Amino acid sequence: MVQTVEREQQGEKQEKIERFSVLEGLRQYAPDHVLLVGRPGSGKSTALARLLLEQANVETRHGASLDGKV
């Protein structure tokens, strides 16, 4: 996953490219909405299922209840 971030330094706009694994990108940008696009069989559903499983494990370990937030 690649995210381009625009930053302004000394009056000039600069673009910085950040590279993430799919799960890292989902964790970082999920509150802002994410569109996960890919060819059939590329792992979109698997990535989301893994993200949910990992979050459920974190919540279970910390004794917190799942409230629908990822």
> Is the sign of the CA dihedral 25, 37, 5, 2 positive or negative?
positive
Q: Is the pLDDT of residue 68 over 60?
A: no
Do 32 and 3 form a contact (C-beta atoms < 8 A)?
A: no
Note the pTM of the prediction, 2 decimals. 0.54
CB atoms within 10 A of CB 66: 11
Q: What is the pLDDT of residues 13-59, one digit of tens each?
A: 777 777 878 778 777 777 777 788 889 999 889 988 988 898 888 88
